[in-house]
Chain A
Amino acid sequence: MKHYLTVGFIFLAFFTTQSSSAVDVKSGLQVGDRVPAFLVTKSGGIDDGVDVDETLCYRCRLGNKPVVMVFARSTGDNLANLVRQIDKAVAQNADKKMASFVNILGKNADAVAASAKQFVKKNKFKNVAICVPTDQPNGPDGFKISPDADVTVMTYVNGQVKDNKVFGKGGADRKGVQAVVAGTKKILPASSTN
C-alpha cells in the first residue's frame, strides 16, 4: 500500500509539473534585474495611440507602471489563451495602470511580422500590445531569452523584475496561465486582487 502511494505521488508530481509546461530553463531577466530599453514594432492589439507598424520603445512608454512582458516563439492556441488571461487581468487592474506587451520572436523577420499580425487579427486583444522586437531571433541581448524557452514571462514594476516564468515547447497550458496571472499580484499594490 505504501509502495503504491509513493508511486502515485511521483506520478502526481510529474503531471503537475508537466501540465504547466514549466521547464527548468533560465530565460529572460531575473527577479531584481532592471529592465533595459529596447525597440519593437507594434503589430496591433490595444488602442493606445500607437499606430500599427510604428517602431517604439514600449519599455520607455510604460515607465514605472506594473507591466506583464511576454516573449514568445509561437503564436498558437496556448499563447492566445495566455494573452487572453493577461488581457483580462490588465482590464481588471486598469485603475492601477497595469499594462502588458507581448513580443513575438523568430528567425525569419518577415514571417514573424506576418505571424504576429495574424495572431492579432484572430484574437482581437483589447488591452495588450502585440509587438515584434527589432532584435531577433532571441530578443535584445541583455534579456538572455533562451532558445529553449517557447514563452518567457517577466512581470515588473518601477522598471524592476518581480517575477519570471519560463515555458518550454507548446508554451503555457491552463496551470501555467494560472501561475502567470497569480504572479501579477507581485507587481500590484498589496490590497489589490485579480
Chain B
Amino acid sequence: MHANNNGFFLVLPKRFIYCVAVTASLMGVWGGCSGGSTSDGDWRSVGGRRPGQVDLLPLNLSELNALIASHRGKIVVLDVWATYCQPCMRDFHELVELSKRYSPKQVACISLSLDNQGLRPLDQVVPQVLHFLNEQRATFDNVIMLEDSDQVLRALRLSSVPAVLVYNKQGQLLETVKPSNGQSPYARVGQIVSGQIANSP
C-alpha cells in the first residue's frame, strides 16, 4: 500500500503544518517538512526533510503501513518505543548506531513512538518526544501514532513496548524482537539484519 504523495499532502495539511511547527520550534531552524518535490516518489519527500535533521511525523496505522511499504527493497527496522518506557530510552541509541552502520539504501530505520496514550492532546505530548529524538540525533523516520497506544499495540500484535520489528526487503515481518532478561533486543536485531544482507543477491 503506497501513499499517494499528493493525496497525502491534501488530507494532512494540519499534521503537515504541525510537523513544521514542532520541528522548527524545537530546533530553532526552518527547513523541515517544507513540502518539497516528490519527483522520485519517495514517501518521505512529502516532508522534505533535510539530511541530518530530526523531525516527527504524526501518522495513523494505515499511513504507517504505507511508510513501511515505501521502503520495499530495503530491510526495515521499526523500533516501537515511548518516553515513559525506561528500557526503550536506554536502548534507543542502538537504533541510531544501526542506522549509521548501514547505508540507508540497505536498511531503513524507523522509530515509532507510542507516547500518545489518549491522556493529553498530541501537541502536549510531542515536545518531550522530539526533545529525546534530538538528543539522540535520530535523523531517520520518526513517527508518533495518532491512535492511542492500546490500539497500536493491538494492531501490531504487541503486548508492550519496547519491541523491535524487522521486515525483509519484500516488506514481510521477519521477527518481533523484545528485550530478553533485561538485555537490549539489538544483539538479535543486528544478527537478523546482517544475515539478511549477507543473503541478499
B119 and A57 form a contact (CB under 8 A): no
The CA-CA distance from A36 to B87 in the complex, in Å, is 9
Q: Which residue of B lies closest to A57 (CB)?
A: B160
Bound Cα distance A50, B162 (Å): 14
Q: Report the interface size class on chain A.
A: 10 to 19
Within residues 52 to 77 of chain A, which ones have a CB less than 8 A from any CB in chain B? 54, 56-58, 60-61, 63-65
The answer to whether A65 and B153 touch across the interface, beta carbons within 8 angstroms, is: no
| Selected contact of B84 from candidates A49, A56, A159, CB within 8 Å | A159
Q: Chain B residues near A64 (CB, 8 Å)?
A: 84, 117, 119
Q: State whether A60 touches B161 (Cβ < 8 A).
A: yes
Task: Say which residue of B115, B117, B159 sits within 8 Å of A49 (CB atoms).
Answer: B159
User: B89 → chain A, closest Cβ, in Å?
Assistant: 10
Q: Identify which of A49, A56, A57, A60 contacts B154 (C-beta below 8 A).
A: A49
CA gap between A48 and B159 in the complex, in Å: 9
Q: Is B41 an interface residue (CB 8 A)?
A: no
Question: Does B82 sit within 8 A of A, measured CB to CB?
Answer: yes
Q: Is the CB of A57 within 8 A of B87?
A: yes
A37 within 8 A of B: yes
Q: Render B54-70 as a binary contact track against A, CB cut-off 8 A, 1 for contact.
A: 00000000000000000
CA A37 to CA B182, docked complex, whole Å: 10
Could you mark each residue 15-50 of chain A with 1 if its beta carbon is under 8 Å from any beta carbon of chain B, else 0? 000000000000000000000110100000000111
Is B53 an interface position by the 8 A CB rule?
no
A65 pairs with B85, CB closer than 8 A: no
| Contact partners of B115 in chain A: CB under 8 A | 63
Contact A61 to B117, CB < 8 A, known contacts A37-B85, A49-B154? no
Q: How far is the CB of B166 from chain A (nearest CB, A)?
A: 19
Residue B150 is within 8 A (CB to CB) of chain A in the complex:
yes
Q: Which residues of A contact B157 (CB under 8 A)?
A: 49
Q: CA separation between A97 and B115, bound complex, in Å? A: 14
Chain B 175-191, CB-CB to A under 8 Å as 1, else 0, gives 00000001000000000
Point out the residue from A51, A61, A97 that lies within 8 Å of B153, measured CB to CB: A61
What are 9 sample pairs from A and B whose C-beta atoms fall under 8 A apart? A49-B159, A50-B159, A57-B87, A57-B160, A60-B86, A60-B160, A61-B149, A61-B153, A63-B85
- Told that A49-B157, A61-B160 touch, could you supply 8 new A-B pairs with CB distance under 8 A? A37-B87, A50-B160, A56-B159, A60-B82, A60-B84, A61-B159, A63-B117, A97-B117
